[in-house]
A and B are shown apart, each in its own frame.
Chain A
Amino acid sequence: MELRQIVRRAITVRHNPAKRRVLQQCRFYATPTDSGSTAGAGAGASGQQGDIQAAAPITFTTNSDQFAAPRAELVQDRSRPRRTRRPDHAGGRDDHDQDLLLRRVRIVPASPSYFTATPEYMDNLLELSSLLRAHQTLPMLPPGQAPRVAWKTIDQYKTELAEPVRVKGYGMLIKLLRRLNHIHPSLMPAEVTEALEKYKRHSQPYMNAPKPIEVNEYGVSAAVGRRKSSSAKAYLVEGTGECMINGKRLSEYFGRLHDRESAVWALKSTQRLDKYNVWALAKGGGTTGQAEAITLAVAKALLAHEPDLKPALRRAGCVTRDPRRVERKKPGHLKARKMPTWVKR
């Protein structure tokens, strides 16, 4: 108790600038004998000790936690920077507050995952797994029925976080995201939706739906077809069976009979050759590519007029885009696969 009183008095005295310097010397000698000296200032300044007194009796307690309790209330502060006197009182007060703050602040990690070296990634992973644990029992959509989402690629994610995230680690994150995405949409919690938003790519390619091909007010339907490196746009109107390609007639444009037949194969196979007029623009590639690009374009345009023909056109091989392109040439080969002639020595 006595020690505590002295400390309290010392703290109040310290704020008086006149007595401060004097007190600084005696601050370190807080012994029981100091209690005899009045106000601690005069005796401390001269370095004298008062009358010799008996030490306070030692009391024993049975409290098992007696050593766990902090023993010093006032901690010496030698590392504190020297205070400079300011003429302005308000400034000095501010300075004092700042000092007090500096003595109280600590530097701590911003994230509990600090020592994993990828703290933000780990926090994300823990956040998602706790979300999943919370909503694990909610009904799910059957596999493959969930709305398709393009998640951020690992490179995008790494750039955003500026952390060395590994492929395996990102795979774990994506697995959690997919599982959360499979929660039934009618019961999807708001927090999950919010959390998933963070990991979605800005542009969602799966949201792009092709614009349906329609017959316009003039009775024309237009469609694009591609094959090899050619592309063609065909305009189809009900008519008498005329066919113009790049401003020429079919027989003028294609020298080969097979190509002529290919170009209008969609109409011919469905016996509509004399019922529609075709006006097509073809560019790129060779004759075969252009002819079969026109086939696809005409077939798509025809489907806009008569959707029922789809199975027939499919069987005639007019609906599917042929994805094959010229195979690239490889080093060490003469062409895509051809090897130079090999001679023994």
Chain B
Amino acid sequence: MILRSLVLRHGRRALPRPTTPLRQSWRRCYASQIERTYTNPLEDQLYVEGGPDATKAQAINNLPSRSEVAPDDTVAADWEFFRHQKAVTGDLGSALAPHYKPHELLSNPPKPSDITLELLMASQSHIGHSTSLWHPANAKYIFGVRGEQDPIHIISLDVTAAYLRRACKIVRGVTERGGLVLFVGTRDGQVGVVVKAAKMAKGCHLFTKWIPGSITNGEQILGKCRKKVVDHLDVEVEGFEDQLLQKAVLKPDLVVCLNLPENYILLHECALNNIPTIGIVDTDCNPTWVTYPIPANDDSLRCVQVIGGVLGRAGEEGQELRLHKAKNGIVDYQQNHRLEKPKEKEEEDGGEERSRGGRMLRAGDE
């Protein structure tokens, strides 16, 4: 819209009146004035845009748009230089004593054979909750009470280590027999350990809320999620797709839960379906919710990473054992999947037989 003075816009009588320079609106300026008043203060800088010897017109047309920022070549060179410097000078200076590197719990988790009381103590797995919050069923896992003002329970690390080793054997046994292990950790920061453990044990992970009914009402919730058929060497076998659509949804064969209090429904569903569960039981948790409790501090991310990593490693061992045996032709487990032979082949066979029979009949007639 062109804004001019109100008088001009609305008053008919205003138009014939000559506009004196004094009364002129600031919007209504003529090119003569513009040329007089308009001088570009950024003349030198602006015209660089059009090239070294560009006219004003080219310069204005070539004003940079948002999408074409010229790639700065120095950034790549600087980055290369930085990496070079880091590689060359990175190991200069004093020698570092062995120390705790938080990322190593995820990149290289401890093995079941690495379980020591020192490791558990260092990861603060002995710290329980305030004594007023305790669940009395945990009495046998509790070593004592610490503190006068705010007393907390201390978990007995002997028990923790023993129960953790037992849990490792269970995970290893299940994976060795081709079972499906589900690792669950739905608290903030537990994504990494859950995903890593599931990857090692070739199982499943869950780091968001458990959708209630995923086991008891699985057809509705997981019905559309894709399944596949694999052979003893974990190679996918084609040809069962149409049968898979008819099959029931999968249930885990073992559930490892890293935070009990938030996952009551999951554990209840597992119990209803006779699925064994392993869980980290803090002093305020009810150990009867899980089949195989591991008394430890579930509020410490470091402790959870140690325990999850160890169980993932156990699963990895189990899978290795299973694959090793499978390569030698030993398959000492069987899934009751009730799959049938792929249909196309059967039909072909049937067709052949029928045609052969017909030919024989005709031969007999002759």
User: Do residues A110 and B79 form an inter-chain contact, with CB atoms below 8 A?
Assistant: no
Q: Quick check: is B169 within 8 A (CB to CB) of the other chain? A: yes
Q: Quick check: is A108 within 8 A (CB to CB) of the other chain? A: yes
User: Do residues B75 and A206 form an inter-chain contact, with CB atoms below 8 A?
Assistant: no
User: Do residues A307 and B199 form an inter-chain contact, with CB atoms below 8 A?
Assistant: no
User: Do residues A107 and B228 form an inter-chain contact, with CB atoms below 8 A?
Assistant: yes
Q: Contact partner of B57 among A68, A116, A186, A307, CB < 8 A?
A: A307
Q: Which of A167-214 contact B (CB under 8 A)?
A: 184-187, 206-207, 209, 212
B1-28, CB under 8 A of A: which get 1 and which 0?
A: 1110000110010010000000000011
Q: Quick check: is A61 within 8 A (CB to CB) of the other chain? A: no
Q: Quick check: is B157 within 8 A (CB to CB) of the other chain? A: no
Complex interface: chain A residues within 8 A of B230 (CB)? 105-106, 108
Decide: A113 near B205, CB < 8 A? Known: A68-B172, A73-B330, A138-B79. Answer: yes
Complex interface: chain B residues within 8 A of A138 (CB)? 79
Q: Which of A131-173 contact B (CB under 8 A)?
A: 138-139, 141, 145, 147-148, 162-163
Q: Which of A16-24, A35-43, A96-104, A244-252 lines the interface with chain B?
A: A96-104
Q: Quick check: is B60 within 8 A (CB to CB) of the other chain? A: yes
Decide: A184 near B75, CB < 8 A? Known: A106-B229, A311-B34. Answer: yes
User: Do residues A317 and B73 form an inter-chain contact, with CB atoms below 8 A?
Assistant: no
Complex interface: chain A residues within 8 A of B250 (CB)? 107-109, 114
User: Do residues B237 and A107 form an inter-chain contact, with CB atoms below 8 A?
Assistant: no
B219-243, CB under 8 A of A: which get 1 and which 0?
A: 0011011111111100001001000
B327-338, CB under 8 A of A: which get 1 and which 0?
A: 000111111111
Q: Which of A26-34, A51-59, A263-271, A336-344 lines the interface with chain B?
A: A263-271
Q: Which residue of A lies closest to B32 (CB)?
A: A271
User: Do residues B214 and A117 form an inter-chain contact, with CB atoms below 8 A?
Assistant: yes
B152 shortest CB reach to chain A, Å: 34
User: Do residues A105 and B224 form an inter-chain contact, with CB atoms below 8 A?
Assistant: no
Q: Which residue of A lies closest to B57 (CB)?
A: A307
User: Do residues B56 and A307 form an inter-chain contact, with CB atoms below 8 A?
Assistant: yes
Q: Quick check: is A112 within 8 A (CB to CB) of the other chain? A: yes
Q: Contact partner of B79 among A187, A207, A209, CB < 8 A?
A: A187
What is the interface residue range for chain A against chain B? Answer: 35 or more
B122 shortest CB reach to chain A, Å: 25
Complex interface: chain B residues within 8 A of A77 (CB)? 334
Complex interface: chain A residues within 8 A of B173 (CB)? 68
Q: Quick check: is B61 within 8 A (CB to CB) of the other chain? A: yes
Decide: A311 near B231, CB < 8 A? Known: A116-B206, A147-B67. Answer: no
Besides the known contacts A115-B182, A258-B9, 18 further A-B residue pairs in the complex with CB atoms under 8 A apart = A98-B345, A106-B231, A107-B250, A107-B335, A107-B339, A109-B226, A110-B227, A110-B228, A113-B204, A113-B206, A114-B227, A117-B222, A209-B65, A270-B31, A271-B30, A292-B1, A311-B38, A316-B2
- The 9 A-B residue pairs with the shortest CB-CB distance, nearest first, are A110-B226, A270-B31, A312-B34, A186-B76, A307-B57, A104-B232, A271-B31, A106-B335, A317-B2
- Could you list 19 examples of A-B contacts with CB < 8 Å? A106-B230, A108-B250, A109-B180, A109-B225, A109-B227, A112-B199, A112-B204, A113-B206, A115-B210, A117-B211, A117-B214, A119-B226, A141-B69, A186-B71, A206-B67, A212-B61, A271-B32, A316-B27, A317-B27
